[in-house]
Amino acid sequence: MNLAQRRILIIGGGFSGMSAAIELRKLDAAVDLVEIDPGWRNYGAGISLGGATLRAFRQLGILDAFLREGAATDGLQAFLPNGAPLASIPTPRLAGPDVPGGGGIMRPTLARILAEATRAAGTTVHLGCTVTTIDDGAEGVDVAFTDGRRARYDLVIAADGLYSKTRERLFPDAPKPRYSGQAVWRAVLPRPPEVTGPMMWMGPVKPGVNPVSADEMYLFLTENRPVNDHVDPATFETRLRALLEPFSAPLVRTMRDQIGPDARIIFRPLEGLLMPRPWYRGRVVLIGDTVHATTPHLASGACIGIEDALVLADELARADGVESALEAFQNRRWERCRMVVENSGRLGQIEIEGGSKEEHSQLMRESMAALAQPI
């Protein structure tokens, strides 16, 4: 299908929505993006990225910016709580022989890189704006906006995230986000020279670190919490330090001592959602966390949302009509996204139950092998 000057609306300017804008502008579509947050912010934690994400960055055209501003590294090191080496897991170089197999970056930095690329591509961005009505008719989709504008589109892409209003509007019976029984702690700390890539310590909880730039790294730690109750931010530092107490590894001890007011601690209960197909109705299609929000056990939620954007643009370019493109898009994406959400959920469940370490590492290996496949 020739997309030149076809009008496309993207609802939501997260990683998935921005990636869709960049790819569709390459096909010369006229792309509007509405983002409800007037500041277009992304909260200040680190994010871990696998080789498949860096491969997607290469296609998007943001790999060089990522390599400049983030940290690209090979392999993952696992240790016992006392710091003795346990395993060294290779990460295949999926973005090319010249690009390490994974990495990390601060979320606001990645969001800025994508936002700059979105604008540079020629997307019309409306901040502090959302849709009020969506009417899918014979001639196109008529949309009204909170700023009073009205416009007709050939396609609407909803990338408005886990609590998507578009999903609620179009698919009122879709599953709701579900609490997983775990929460994750993250903090930003200075990066010592010995941290050359992601490291994890396998104790009663599993703290890990990943570099996010030349001089910073982020600490992540998943905690089992049967009840999703409120945690007072005034207690964050004490709680996070207490969770690191069982670890005698010198690096973990140093990190524990560094946890103070500058550590930018974020606590986040983990939720998941996998919406069964269809992922579209008429000319409105749902992508990213809107249809497949995963817990971070495979560090691949952003990856599959960004890949959705690449595949959607590819299917639109090759199909005869919008509907057949959307059908092909959802069928091409389903298995990979289901795998990430369900395997991540299972990994969390094994951790909660104190279940088989063999099953955990086997599932991890299988998932990594599946993620390495082409999209």
Ligand X SMILES: Cc1cc2nc3c(=O)[nH]c(=O)nc-3n(C[C@H](O)[C@H](O)[C@H](O)COP(=O)(O)OP(=O)(O)OC[C@H]3O[C@@H](n4cnc5c(N)ncnc54)[C@H](O)[C@@H]3O)c2cc1C
Chain residues in the site for ligand X (CB under 6 A): 11-17, 34-37, 47-49, 130, 159-162, 165, 184, 268, 288-289, 296, 299-303, 305
- Smaller CB distance to ligand X: residue 47 or 284? 47
Put residue 140 in one of left, alpha, beta given phi > 0 → left and psi -120 to 50 → alpha.
Answer: left
Q: Is 41 left (phi over 0), alpha (psi -120 to 50) or beta?
A: beta
The verdict on whether omega for the bond into residue 250 sits within 30 degrees of 0, i.e. cis, is no
Closest approach of ligand X to the CB of residue 175, in Å: 16
Task: Give the three-state DSSP class for 86.
Answer: strand
- Of the pair 178, 318, the CB lying nearest ligand X is at 178
The least CB distance from residue 41 to ligand X, in Å, is 8
Neighbouring residues of 23: CB distance < 8 A, sequence distance ≥ 6: 60, 309, 310, 312, 313
- Decide: 44 and 213 in contact? Cβ < 8 Å: no
Tell me how far apart the alpha carbons of residues 3 and 119 are, in angstroms, rounded to a whole number.
19
Helices (H), 268-356: 301-318, 322-353
Between residues 324 and 349, which has the closer beta carbon with respect to ligand X?
349
Gap between the Cα atoms of 68 and 171, Å rounded:
41
Task: Evaluate the CA torsion angle 284, 56, 186, 224 in order and state its sign.
Answer: positive
The pairing of strands 284-286 and 155-158 is parallel
Whether 91 and 101 have beta carbons less than 8 Å apart is answered as yes
Q: How far is the CB of 2 from ligand X (least distance, A)?
A: 27
Alpha carbon distances (Å) from 112 to 26, 42, 302: 19, 9, 15
Closer CB to ligand X, residue 38 or residue 85?
Answer: 38
Closest to ligand X by CB, 203 or 288: 288
By beta-carbon distance, which residue lies closest to ligand X? 14
Contact criterion met (CB below 8 Å) for 168 and 77: no
Going 42 to 158 to 156 to 331, the CA torsion angle's sign is: positive
Name the token pair of 68. Answer: 């400049």
Nearer to ligand X, 129 or 363 (CB): 129
- Please state the closest distance from residue 307 (CB atom) to ligand X, in A: 10
The nearer residue to ligand X, 157 or 325, going by C-beta atoms, is 157
Task: Kindly state the smallest distance separating residue 82's Cβ from ligand X, in Å.
Answer: 26
Minimum distance, C-beta of residue 19 to ligand X, in the bound complex (Å): 8
Lookup: tokens for 230: 């409120």
Q: Taking the complex as a whole, how short is the minimal distance between the CB of residue 321 and ligand X, in angstroms?
A: 25
Q: How far apart are CA 48 and CA 296, in angstroms?
A: 9
> In angstroms, what is the minimal distance from the CB of 213 to ligand X?
15
Distance, CA of 217 to CA of 192 (rounded, Å): 9
Compare residues 17 and 345 and give the one whose CB is closer to ligand X.
Answer: 17
Return the structure tokens found at 349.
């469940």
Report the nearest approach of ligand X to the CB of residue 45 (Å): 7
Nearer to ligand X, 75 or 257 (CB): 75
Residue 28 or 147: the one with the smaller Cβ distance to ligand X is 147
CA distance 278 to 332: 12
| CB of 367 vs ligand X, minimal distance in Å | 13
- Give the Cα separation of 142 and 341 in Å (integer): 33
